[in-house]
């Protein structure tokens, strides 16, 4: 699921989990009950731990979705207005990235090595986009003339397009245990159980 596909959930006012893994406990219990016969106690514990970890991961990336729901539109009436509102938009986006990165960093170690790899790749990707967004915002904030504002506005589109292409659970589908855990974890279901058609238009000209 991409960021664009998840934004509609935030706009719809769904309360996405943002406070870590404890909320996963009911889902984990349900997972153990629905696993059926044949699982050992150790396998059930591993399944529950994987579900809890996936829930924490989804809670972290939910912060990015929330930031999109609060993004202001870009006002193109004048170059100065476009520059100011573009800076505000990037500021909200940077805040969402910061909270997502912090949430992922706070996650306990994944029960699967693939989980640690996926998390590390996601953090690296988010940090890179954040750094580029910060650079674009600094360029906008430093613009004092109409010409400088016009030039700075061009730097906004790249980080927006880059983050719009991100798949929130990138890599999960390739790991059966994580894919199944994401179907059990309530925080992940809140990200994926959408019947809406996603659309994101930051108003960039």
Share of residues in the chain with pLDDT > 90 (%): 51
3-class SS at 167? strand
Q: Which two tokens stand for residue 147?
A: 């010409």
Instruction: Count CB neighbours of 191 within 10 A.
Output: 24
> Given this model, what pLDDT does residue 195 score?
34
Q: pLDDT band at residue 37, thresholds of 50, 70 and 90?
A: low
* Paired tokens of 111: 């029960």
pLDDT tens digits for range 13-31? 323 333 334 444 444 444 4
Q: How many CB atoms lie within 10 A of CB 173?
A: 11
For 132-158, how does the pLDDT look when each residue is reduced to its tens digit (9 = 90+)? 999 999 999 999 888 888 888 888 888
As a whole number of angstroms, the distance between CA 174 and CA 135 comes to 34
- Token code pair at residue 188: 């992940």
Distances (CA, A) of 43 to 25, 48, 55, 62, 94: 16, 9, 18, 28, 39
Structure confidence at residue 79 as a pLDDT band (50, 70, 90): confident
- pLDDT at residue number 1: 52
Average per-residue pLDDT for the chain: 80
For 164, other C-beta atoms within 10 Å of its C-beta total 16
Whose tokens are 């150790």? That residue is 42
Q: Which two tokens stand for residue 71?
A: 């993004």
54 or 204: which leads in pLDDT? 54
**Predicted confidence (pLDDT) per residue in 164-183, tens digit:** 888 999 999 999 999 999 99
Model confidence at 39: pLDDT above 80: no
Tokens of 63: 């912060």
- As a whole number, mean pLDDT of residues 43-47 equals 90
Residues 6 or more apart in contact with residue 80 via CB below 8 angstroms? 146, 149
Joined tokens for residue 37: 């016969």
Task: Dig out the tokens for 128 from the structure.
Answer: 């890179």
For the segment 54-65, the average pLDDT, to the nearest whole number, is 95
pLDDT of 41 reads 85
* Amino acid 198: pLDDT: 29
Q: What is the pLDDT of residues 89-120, one digit of tens each?
A: 999 999 999 999 999 999 999 999 999 999 99
**Helix ranges (DSSP H) in the chain:** 3-11, 25-34, 41-69, 79-106, 113-142, 146-153, 157-164, 176-184, 186-192
């Amino acid at each position: 699921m991409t960021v664009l596909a998840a934004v509609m959930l935030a706009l719809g006012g769904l309360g996405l989990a943002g406070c870590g893994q404890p909320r996963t406990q009911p889902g984990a219990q349900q997972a153990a009950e629905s696993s059926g016969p044949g699982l050992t106690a150790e396998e059930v514990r591993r399944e529950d731990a994987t579900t809890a970890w996936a829930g924490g991961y989804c809670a972290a990336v939910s912060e990015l979705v929330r930031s999109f729901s609060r993004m202001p539109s870009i006002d193109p009436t004048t170059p100065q207005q476009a520059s100011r509102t573009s800076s505000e938009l990037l500021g909200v986006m940077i805040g969402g990235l910061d909270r997502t990165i912090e949430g992922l960093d706070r996650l306990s170690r994944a029960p699967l090595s693939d989980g640690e790899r996926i998390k590390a790749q996601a953090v690296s990707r988010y940090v890179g986009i954040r750094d580029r967004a910060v650079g674009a915002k600094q360029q906008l904030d430093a613009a004092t003339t109409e010409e400088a504002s016009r030039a700075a506005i061009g730097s906004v589109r790249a980080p927006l397009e880059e983050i719009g292409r991100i798949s929130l659970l990138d890599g999960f589908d390739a790991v059966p245990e994580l894919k199944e855990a994401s179907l059990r974890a309530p925080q992940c279901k809140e990200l994926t159980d959408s019947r809406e058609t996603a659309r994101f238009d930051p108003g960039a000209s």
